[in-house]
Copies of this chain bind each other. A is one copy, B any other.
Amino acid sequence: MTAFRTTASLALILCLVGPAAPARADDPLPSWDDGPSRGAIVAFVEAVTTEGSPDFVTPGDRIAVFDNDGTLWCERPVYVQAAFIADRVAAMVEAEPALADRPGFKAVLDRDFEALAGLGEAGIAELVAATHGGMTPEEFEAMARDWLATARHPRFGRPYTELTYQPMVELLDFLRSHGFSTFIVTGGGVEFVRNFAEPAYGIPTQQVVGSTIALRFEEQGDEPTIVREPRISFIDDGPGKPVGIQSHIGRRPILAVGNSDGDYEMLRWTTAGPGPRLGLIVHHTDADREYAYDRDSHVGRLDRALDEAPDRGWVVIDMKRDWESIFPGGSR
């Protein structure tokens, strides 16, 4: 108490004798425009954290879930993990040229998106399995980390991990400072995203839910080992997201943030629960600073969720209007 009182008194004295502090010096959301989206977020957090409020939620139930691609970081021109797969395919073909004839590998090498789409789910699964399976989690982690450290975004020329959305990083911090537990719920591979979730977003590995490769435990000699099998065991997208949330978290979130129809079921599941709920949709409206896309995009298509947002009470974040900066460092 003493320390608090001292600080408070000091602040009072400074107010009386010093110059006015900058208007938003201690603003927890400095990259957010002071408009309706920010207002909805702040009002929600205030409601659920004010003791005695009819909307008060105990800290244990303050669960917030965030999609990753297009919600926490840039997903254009292609998903970051797709770029990783493309580079991995190129490296594998360099080591073993005959692989270039396999349909999936060929489509990736040719950047032939139509052929890729034509592979169907089984073909994509085979591609992921070939590039992501048959190694230990430690080996995969080292490979993914090396790639993330060196790969650059084709338009912005920066590492992908620097193309996180600064307003979202602030929102995650803001929520955690109000007793929320923050989770990523991604269609991407869980062990890919876990490589950067902590440094980029402050989210530890155990709070990342995602698509999975089957794992197998075995003793190699006297060495206990986990092996990634060349087989996808769970797709954490669309209706998979509420399932992933229930399996992993075991509680219904009170706040969900997404940007595409792949997040529709997660938004539905979250906001249909009793008590105060908030659903947020990042709408990519800024072709100048980032990208502008929604209904017709092959990546991050946003159609049904956008249509239903008004009736469902979901807040649509207009990137161009609502975000004063996009990426960390404030350069854009």
**A136: nearest residue on chain B (CB-CB)?**
B246
Is A295 engaged at the interface, CB distance under 8 Å to the other chain? no
Nearest-neighbour CB distance to chain B for A272, whole angstroms, equals 5
Known: A2-B6, A3-B1. Contact between A246 and B224, CB under 8 A?
no
A74 to B272, CA, bound (A): 38
- Residues from chain B with a CB closer than 8 A to the CB of A269 are 217, 224, 226
User: Closest residue of chain B to A217, judged by CB?
Assistant: B239
Interface centre among A63, A216, A217, A223 (most CB of B within 10 A): A217
Residues from chain B with Cβ under 8 Å of A248 in the complex: 206, 248
Could you say how many copies of this chain the assembly holds? 2
As a 0/1 sequence over residues 212 to 246 of chain A, the CB contacts with chain B under 8 angstroms (1 = contact) are 10011111000110100000000000011011001
* B242 engages A217 (CB within 8 Å): yes
Closest chain B residue to A264 by CB distance? B224
B272 touches A243 (CB 8 A): no
Residues 252-290 of chain A: 1 if any B CB is under 8 Å from the residue's CB, otherwise 0? 000000000000010011001000000000000000000
Q: Of B183, B190, B243, which contacts A250 at CB under 8 A? A: B190
A295 to B296, CA, bound (A): 64
A204 contact set on B, CB distance < 8 A: 60, 181
A47 at the interface (CB under 8 A from B): no
For window 105-148 of chain A, which residues contact chain B by CB distance below 8 Å?
A: 137
A208 CB within 8 Å of chain B? yes
Interface string of A169-180 (1 = CB under 8 A from B): 000000000000
Residues of B within 8 A of A242 (CB): 217, 224, 226
Please indicate the chain B residues that have their CB under 8 angstroms from the CB of A137 in the complex: 246, 250
Interface 0/1 of A43-70, CB less than 8 Å to B = 0000000000000000010010000000
State whether B246 touches A206 (Cβ < 8 A).
Answer: no
A320 at the interface (CB under 8 A from B): no
* Cβ-based interface call for A298 (8 A): no
Q: Tell whether A205 is near chain B: CB-to-CB under 8 Å.
A: yes
Task: Choose from B60, B194, B250 the contact partner of A191 (Cβ within 8 Å).
Answer: B250
A251 within 8 A of B: yes
A331 / chain B contacts, CB cutoff of 8 Å: none
Set of chain B residues within 8 Å of A6, measured between Cβ atoms: 2
Q: For the complex, what is the distance from the CA of A190 to the CA of B3, rounded to whole Å?
A: 44
The answer to whether B205 and A250 have CB atoms under 8 Å apart is: yes
Residues of A whose CB lies within 8 Å of any CB of B are 1-3, 6, 60, 63, 137, 181, 183, 190-191, 194, 198, 204-208, 212, 215-219, 223-224, 226, 239-240, 242-243, 246-251, 265, 268-269, 272
Extra pairs beyond A137-B250, A224-B268 (17, CB < 8 Å): A1-B3, A3-B3, A60-B198, A181-B204, A181-B206, A183-B206, A191-B250, A205-B251, A215-B247, A216-B243, A217-B239, A217-B240, A217-B242, A217-B269, A223-B272, A224-B242, A248-B248
